[in-house]
Structure 1
Amino acid sequence: MTNLQPTREVFITCAVTGSGDTTGKSDKVPITPQQIADSCIEAAEAGAAIVHIHVRNPKTGVPARDPALYAKVVDIIRESKVDMVINFTAGMGGDLVFGSAEEPLPLKEEGTDMVGASERLDHVRNILPEICTIDCGTMNFGEGGYVMTNTPAVLKEMAAQVQALGVKPEIECFDTGHLQLAIWLKNQGLIDDPVMIQLCMGIPWGAPDDLHTFLAMTSSIPEDWTFSAFSISRNQLPYVALAVLAGGNIRVGLEDNIYLKRGVLASNADLVKKAVQTAEGMGCSILGPQQVRDNLKLVKRWG
């Protein structure tokens, strides 16, 4: 009789809104705290164990980092009694937008938001989510003057503060060097086991989402680390299968892709349901929030 391998267990993260200019492209992208919370609840009910949360100015839809907006989202989720692991971004406040190619300085006021490590973590400190993301590196975005800025000194300080708060960092790696920086932070004693990382593929001008680059990234991850992976736009859903095949976990959501298929706008719940269908079709079982907490040694502080 053939010995069957145990079913592969994976968890799904839903990144519900992000900070990109997507609100004008889809009316399904949540903006207000109520909309963001409702989208988190729908995603969790569809099978997401983790919800990754940004907030936006409720009137304009532009990205924000106001702790009060995060608190409103979490209060609504708590009142719903729907269980999910809360994951806040800590990427806001590291944004530089340079001037023209000939006159890069002064920086443009619109889009530039550069603050210190402590201020970038105000919402994390005030609310204490189970997870917060740390963007592990600096890189160009788009075709203009925007640079996502995360120096090693700032990353060390943010990692140390998150560690002291007892919040699990999810280290987001947009390129191969970012993964090496994550390993360096771990070697500095600034990330506790089990280490959790996210491979962010296909974002200009980071690691492209071709198979060779993805395998180069996954082959460099220490064996005892837990990782998820995603790509953006039309490759988000194919990356559900690719992440599972590589031994990782899944991320979907409107932060990274607004379509279910060509010409059909998706909700966050739609994307999660599609990910569940794909993963279960590959013989996986989908982990719930409490199983994820147990596996990642997360501290649940509410519910």
Structure 2
Amino acid sequence: MGRPLIIEVRVNEYAMRNSNPNVPWTPEEISRDCNEIREAGAAVVHFHARKEDGSPAFDAESYAASIRKIRAGSDILIAPTMGQIHVSGDATRFQHYVALEKMDLKPDFVPIDTGTTNIDRFDFSTNTFDTKHKVYLNATETVERFIGWTHDLGMREQLFAWTVPMLRTGQALYRMGLLKTPVHQTFLLTEGGILGGHPGTVAGLKPFIELLDPAVPMVWSVGCKEGDLLGLVPYILQNGGHISIGLGDYGYRELGTPRNVDVVRKVVELARQYDRTPVTPDGVKELLGM
């Protein structure tokens, strides 16, 4: 057995189907993908509730419909989104987790971004921004509040850092005694014209790794919003990281018209070359002390 590897699949985000027709939207499609990716070696799924036409859905029942079907088909751990910039107000952003707990459909993880960034998209073909007002706001008091509410509901926080300042904030939260340990941390690189995160390259990832505080116990993974993560997978595996990948971030048309399971199989293939063994959901719980 090689060193353990957590594979999380970001199955849909808010991606439409122009990049890949296999992006899952409906509860049936999401649960189907979960069954397939779990069988292939993934242990965690991150999903966004969507309507049948692919538009975002933010009501608790839309999340519940997918979670019911996911749990009926597999034991994969579940991390539904908080809604990013599409929902405002702390209580409103968190309300579906509260409702899901009351429905006995409590997710396993709550993704929490530990800082603020701009997510306007820059068009390199015209050298202009498509928008100039999209601020993804996460004040420190908001982040602390989300962590407290997450613990109150018996769930585990998953911190996301788009930039080094967000990583430093997460490490400060650990020093405050606010986080479960080891810290569950994802570095989210950004491409596709989104300049609010580090680029999806080795140069973009290295500062995170170099600035890890050895006094902070951490299990870290890497994702790439709107970018191809596969080229970085060997570097991540060699440096002890875990993988957060999926059609929600990038269509992977280099593989044809893949499904999420095809991307997972590619990661597993690479993992074997670097002596990394995908873990089960129980393995994730063991690594995170859950």
TM exceeds 0.5? Answer: yes
Instruction: Give 1:138's aligned residue.
Output: 116
Instruction: Give 1:123's aligned residue.
Output: 96
- For residues 242 and 182 of structure 1, do their structure 2 counterparts lie closer, same or farther at Cα, with a shift above 3 Å needed? same
Instruction: Give 1:9's aligned residue.
Output: 4
1:118 maps to amino acid = A
Q: Deviations over 1:32-78 (max 9, x none)?
A: 111111111211111101111211122x3122221111111111122
Instruction: Give 1:105's aligned residue.
Output: none
Q: Deviations over 1:96-139 (max 9, x none)?
A: xxxxxxxxxxxxxxxx5322x22212222223211120112211
* CA distance in structure 1 between the partners assigned to 2:265 and 2:5 by the alignment: 14
The TM-score, its normalising length taken from structure 2, stands at 0.87
1:180 maps to amino acid = R
Equivalent in 184, 191, 213 of residue 222 of structure 1: 213
* CA distance in structure 1 between the partners assigned to 2:252 and 2:210 by the alignment: 30
* CA distance in structure 1 between the partners assigned to 2:281 and 2:111 by the alignment: 17
Instruction: Give 1:212's aligned residue.
Output: 203
Instruction: Give 1:271's aligned residue.
Output: 263
- Is the CA contact (8 Å cut-off) linking 1:55 and 1:65 kept in structure 2? yes
What are the ranges of 5 or more consecutive residues in structure 1 without an aligned counterpart?
1-5, 96-111, 299-303
* CA distance in structure 1 between the partners assigned to 2:245 and 2:251 by the alignment: 10
Q: Deviations over 1:247-301 (max 9, x none)?
A: 1111111111111516x22210010000000011212111111111122133xxx
- For the residue of structure 1 that corresponds to 2:174, the secondary structure is helix
- Is the CA contact (8 Å cut-off) linking 1:236 and 1:252 kept in structure 2? yes
* CA distance in structure 2 between the partners assigned to 1:284 and 1:277 by the alignment: 10
Instruction: Give 1:86's aligned residue.
Output: 78
* CA distance in structure 2 between the partners assigned to 1:238 and 1:232 by the alignment: 14
Q: Deviations over 1:178-226 (max 9, x none)?
A: 1111112222322111210101113421112332331111122234200
- Is the CA contact (8 Å cut-off) linking 2:228 and 2:252 kept in structure 1? no
- Is the CA contact (8 Å cut-off) linking 2:19 and 2:253 kept in structure 1? no
1:226 maps to amino acid = V
The correspondence of residues 42-81 of structure 1 with structure 2, limited to 5 A, is 42-58=36-52, 60-80=53-73
Instruction: Give 1:239's aligned residue.
Output: 232
Equivalent in 279, 282, 289 of residue 290 of structure 1: 282
1:222 maps to amino acid = D
Instruction: Name the larger-Rg structure.
Output: 1
The TM-score, its normalising length taken from structure 1, stands at 0.83
1:289 maps to amino acid = P
Equivalent in 19, 28, 39 of residue 34 of structure 1: 28
Instruction: Give 2:87's aligned residue.
Output: 113
- For the residue of structure 1 that corresponds to 2:222, the secondary structure is strand
- For the residue of structure 1 that corresponds to 2:157, the secondary structure is strand
Aligned residue-pair number: 270
- Is the CA contact (8 Å cut-off) linking 1:230 and 1:240 kept in structure 2? no
2:75 maps to amino acid = D
* CA distance in structure 2 between the partners assigned to 1:247 and 1:190 by the alignment: 25
Deviation at 1:232, TM superposition (A): 4.3
* CA distance in structure 2 between the partners assigned to 1:19 and 1:235 by the alignment: 16
- For the residue of structure 1 that corresponds to 2:228, the secondary structure is helix
Are 1:184 and 2:172 counterparts?
Answer: yes
Instruction: Give 2:125's aligned residue.
Output: none
